Structure 1
Amino acid sequence: MSMNGEYVRLTPDELERVIGDHEWATALVEKLMDADARRRPGSAEARCHGTDKAWDAIGFLTRRAGFLVDIVHGEEQVPWGEDWGYGPPRYLSPDRVRTAAEAMAETGADRLVEGVGPADLTAAEVYPVGIWERDDSLEYATGHYEALVPFFRSAAEAGDAILVWLS
């Protein structure tokens, strides 16, 4: 079984309801994921986004780059705390989404991996352990990061929050 990073954009009203109602949150997220699966929108138009197994590498690289927002794990925990795979979801408020989007706009993939090699991810035991020595391993991580940038930018422009979890 693998661990995958998952993201869902939420309006402020949706976030308020998600925080207070686990069952409604589950139903909303399923509905949004189904809709995006049918429509297959680009990252900027999507309500849902996934980073596959690149989530830990993205976290490693963004921490190393000095990001002030945890774009991989979120920052605020939902109070109902139900497990959505590997723990409960967390979220980023609209203000934190905006801060993250600004940092991401300033930090292209080339800058993110500047001075980092596959051996660094291996030494740090970044999940999934054992893949980082492949020639294309950094491209795998930066490709997922680059797809996440317009997702965050669009959420910030709309004033949305983002729900984050590992499934």
Structure 2
Amino acid sequence: MSMNGEYLRVTPAELDRALKDPAWALDLAEEIQDAQEESEPAPSEALHFTTHKTWHLLEFLLQRSAFPVGIVHGEEPLTTDDWGYGPPRYVAPDRVQLAADILQQTTYDQLIQDVDPSELTKAEIYPQIWDSPASMEWARDLFTPLTEFFRGAASTGHAVLIWLD
């Protein structure tokens, strides 16, 4: 079993409902995940996105760069209910916009610049595969789609629910 970073775009009205009824939000997340498995929309159009197991590496790299928005675990609690590996959190629409703006200006090369893989091993970054500089390339293919996902959410004024599953 693995830990995957999960993201769900929601309208402000859906966020309000999710805050009042977290079980409804979980049902919505599962319904959208199932629907998207067949359609596979572009990240900028997707309502659901996953960073798979790269979430911890991305968190490390973003924290190291002093990224101002919590886009790996979210910023505000949605509920105390466990959605897999802990409760979900969310990023409000204005913070989604800020994240999208900064992500648009950030490259993966900037994030990994001067990072020694031994730092990742020492920090116990999940999963523990940090045996060479090439291992840091692992998350490159998900960073651009994550940027596109946030850009799409920001363009429609959506909030983003975030959890580990």
- TM-score by length of structure 1 reads 0.94
Kept after mapping to 2: 8 A contact 1:15/1:161: yes
Structure 2 partner of 1:146: 144
For structure 1, the residue ranges without an aligned partner over 5 or more in a row are none
Task: Please give the alpha-carbon distance, in whole angstroms, between the structure 2 residues aligned to 1:20 and 1:71.
Answer: 22
Matches of 1:81 and 1:22, distance apart in 2: 9
Which aligned segments of 4 or more residues in structure 1 are displaced greater than 6 angstroms? Answer: none
Aligned counterparts of 1:45 and 1:136: Cα–Cα separation in 2: 31
Q: Does 1:70 align with 2:70?
A: yes
Contact preservation (8 Å) 2:88, 2:161: yes
Counterpart for residue 97 of structure 2: 98
1: distance between equivalents of 2:136 and 2:116? 8
Alignment of 1:46-85 (within 5 A): 46-78=46-78, 80-85=79-84
Distance 2:119 2:139 in 1: 13
Task: Structure 2: give runs of 5+ residues left out of the alignment.
Answer: none
Q: Cα distance, 1:82 vs. partner?
A: 0.8
Supply the AA of the counterpart residue of 1:81: T
For residue 96 of structure 1, report the CA deviation from its aligned partner: 0.8
Q: Is structure 2 residue 88 aligned with structure 1 residue 89? A: yes
How many residue pairs match? The answer is: 165
1:8 alignment counterpart: 8
Q: How does 1:109-128 map to 2 (within 5 A)?
A: 109-128=108-127
**Percent of matched pairs sharing the same residue:** 48
CA contact (8 A) 1:58 1:142 kept: no
